[in-house]
Structure 1
Amino acid sequence: MIEECRDKQRQAEHERDYALSHQKKVEIPVEKPVLYQKCGNCKQTAYLKAKERYDTQREKLAGRYKAKTAIYEALMFLLIWYSVSTTLFQMIRSKIFISDCVVFFDTIATFIQNIAGLTILAGKNVAQVSNGISNPVVAGIIYWMIRILISGGCLVGVGILLAFIEIKIVGLYKKYCWDSITIMVILISMATAIYFGKWIKTTLPINLLFLLLFVQLVYVGIRWYVRGWRETRGYH
Structure 2
Amino acid sequence: MIEECRDKLRQAEQERDYALSHQKKVEIPVEKPVLYQKCGNCNQTAYLRAKERYDTQREKLAGRYKAKTAMYEALMFLLIWYSVSTTLFQMIRSKIFISDCVVFFDTIATFIQSIAGWIILTGKNVAQISNGISNPVITGIIYWLIRLLICGGCLVGAEILLAFTGIKIAGLYKKYCWDMITILVTLISMAIAIYFGDWIKTVLPINLLFFLLFVQLVYVGIRWYVKGWRETRGYY
Normalising to structure 2: TM-score of the pair?
Answer: 0.88
More displaced 10-residue stretch of structure 1: 185-194 or 158-167? 158-167
Which stretch shifts more, 20-29 or 84-93?
20-29
Over 3 Å counting, the alpha-carbon distance change for 1:18 and 1:182 in structure 2 is closer
Q: 1:119 corresponds to which letter in structure 2?
A: I
Deviates more, 1:166-175 or 1:7-16: 7-16
Q: How well do the aligned residues superpose, as a CA RMSD in angstroms?
A: 2.8
Deviations 1:170-227 (A, max 9, x none): 1111111111111111111111111111121222221111111111111111111111
* 2:126 counterpart residue number: 126
Quick one: which amino acid aligns to residue 53 of structure 1?
R
- TM, length-normalised to structure 1: 0.88
Structure 1 residue 12: Cα displacement = 3.2
1:37-56 equivalences in 2 (<5 Å)? 37=37, 45-56=45-56
Of 82-91 and 223-232, more deviation after overlay is shown by: 223-232
Superposition deviation, residue 7 in structure 1: 3.7
Task: Kindly report which structure 2 residues correspond to 1:1-236, keeping only aligned pairs within 5 A, or say none.
Answer: 1=1, 3-9=3-9, 11-12=11-12, 32-37=32-37, 45-236=45-236
Offset, 1:29: 7.2
Task: State the distance in 2 between where 1:24 and 1:173 align.
Answer: 65
* Distance change >3 Å, CA 38–CA 103, structure 1 → 2: same
2: CA distance between counterparts of 1:158 and 1:110? 16
5+ residue gaps, structure 2, are: none
- Asked if the contact 2:128–2:143 (Cα under 8 Å) also holds between the matched residues in 1, the reply is yes
Inter-CA distance 21–187: structure 2 relative to 1 (3 Å threshold): closer
Give the drift of 1:35: 3.7
Specify whether residues 9 and 146 from structure 1 end up closer, same or farther in structure 2 by C-alpha distance, changes over 3 A only.
Answer: same
- The 3 A distance-change label for structure 1 pair 69 and 7 is same
* Runs of 5+ consecutive residues of structure 1 not aligned to the other structure: none
- Give the match's secondary structure for 1:235: coil
Deviation at 1:37, TM superposition (A): 2.3
Displacement, 1:130?
Answer: 0.6
> How many residues are aligned here?
236
CA distance in 2, matches of 1:33, 1:161: 68
Distance 2:167 2:23 in 1: 77
SS at match of 1:205: coil
Could you tell me how far apart the structure 2 residues matched to 1:210 and 1:126 are?
37
Matched-pair identity in %: 88
Q: Secondary structure at the match of 1:112?
A: helix
